[in-house]
Amino acid sequence: MSELLACRLTAPLPSAIATISVQGHQAFRTIASILRCNDSESFWNIGRIRFLKWPVLNDFEHVVVCRVDENTVEIHCHGGVAVSNAILQSLEQAGCKLLDATELEIAQHKQLSERGADCLATSIQRHCREALIQTLSERAAGILLDQAAGALHESLARLISLIEQTAWPEARVHLDSLLRWNELGRHLVEPWRVVLAGPPNVGKSSLINAISGQSVAIVHHEAGTTRDWIESATMIDGWPVTLTDTAGIRDTDEQIEREGVKRARKQVIQADLVVLVIDATIGWTSQHDQIVQLCNQRPDKVRLLVAWNKCDLNHCDLEQSSTLAVPNLLPTVRCSVPNNVASLIDAISRGLVPEAPNPGTAVVFVPQMLDLLNEIASRLTTEVAQPVESELKLLAQQLRRC
Q: Which domain holds residue 90?
A: 5-106
Residues 225 and 150 in one domain: no
Q: What average pLDDT does the chain have?
A: 83
Give, rounded to a whole angstrom, the gap between the first and last alpha carbons of the chain: 22
For 287, list phi and psi in degrees, rounded to 5: -65, -35
Order the strands of the 5-8 sheet from edge to edge: 49-56, 59-69, 72-78, 17-23, 5-8, 97-99
Q: What does each C-alpha distance from 87 to 17, 31, 32, 48, 197 come to in angstroms?
A: 13, 10, 13, 21, 56
Asked if pLDDT for residue 63 goes beyond 90, the answer is yes
Residue 59, strand partner residues:
56
Say if 337 falls within a structural domain. yes
Length, in residues, of the chain: 402
Say if 392 falls within a structural domain. yes
Residues 198 and 330 in one domain: yes
Say if 54 falls within a structural domain. yes
- What is the four-CA torsion angle of 139, 144, 148, 149, rounded to 10 degrees? 40
Residues 348 and 205 in one domain: yes
Contact indicator for 196, 288 with CB cutoff of 8 Å:
no
Cα separation, 53 vs 84, in Å, equals: 14
Enclosing H/E stretch for 19: strand 17-23
Say if 113 falls within a structural domain. no
Q: What does each C-alpha distance from 219 to 249, 297, 370 come to in angstroms?
A: 16, 31, 41
Q: What is the pLDDT of residue 200?
A: 83
Other residues' Cβ atoms within 10 Å of the Cβ of residue 121:
16
Residues 198 and 177 in one domain: no
Cα separation, 254 vs 58, in Å, equals: 70
Closest by alpha carbon to 351, among 279, 287, 263, 271? 271
Asked if pLDDT for residue 325 goes beyond 90, the answer is no
E strands, 207-267, where? 230-236, 239-245
Say if 162 falls within a structural domain. yes
Residue type at 32 in one-letter notation? A
Residues 160 and 239 in one domain: no
Q: What is the mean pLDDT of residues 309-318?
A: 64
Residues 68 and 167 in one domain: no
Residues 165 and 210 in one domain: no
CA 226 from centroid of its chain's CA atoms: 30
Say if 186 falls within a structural domain. no
Residues 159 and 247 in one domain: no
Residues 219 and 331 in one domain: yes
Domain boundary among 352, 371, 388: 352
Say whether 241 sits in a helix, a strand or coil. Answer: strand
Query: Considering its fold, how many domains does the chain have in total?
Result: 3
Residues 133 and 164 in one domain: yes
Q: What is the pLDDT of residue 375?
A: 94
Residues 198 and 344 in one domain: yes
Residue 99, strand partner residues:
7
Residues 202 and 325 in one domain: yes
Cα separation, 202 vs 246, in Å, equals: 11
State the CATH number of the domain containing residue 71: 3.30.1360.120
Between 6-20, 83-97, 238-252, 366-380, the lowest mean confidence (pLDDT) is in: 238-252
Asked if pLDDT for residue 300 goes beyond 80, the answer is no
Asked if pLDDT for residue 23 goes beyond 80, the answer is yes
Closest by alpha carbon to 274, among 250, 238, 249, 257? 249
pLDDT tens digits for 39-55? 998 899 999 999 999 99
Q: What is the pLDDT of residue 178?
A: 95
pLDDT tens digits for 282-296? 888 888 888 888 888
pLDDT tens digits for 218-271? 443 444 444 445 788 899 999 999 998 876 554 444 554 445 455 667 777 788
Say if 309 falls within a structural domain. yes
Contact indicator for 389, 204 with CB cutoff of 8 Å:
no
Asked if pLDDT for residue 328 goes beyond 70, the answer is no
Say if 12 falls within a structural domain. yes
The DSSP string of 51-92 is EEEEEETTEEEEEEEEEEETTEEEEEEE--HHHHHHHHHHHH
Full-model pTM: 0.68
Residues 6+ apart with CB under 8 A from 142: 359
34: region left, alpha or beta (phi > 0 left; psi from -120 to 50 alpha): alpha
Cα separation, 108 vs 333, in Å, equals: 52
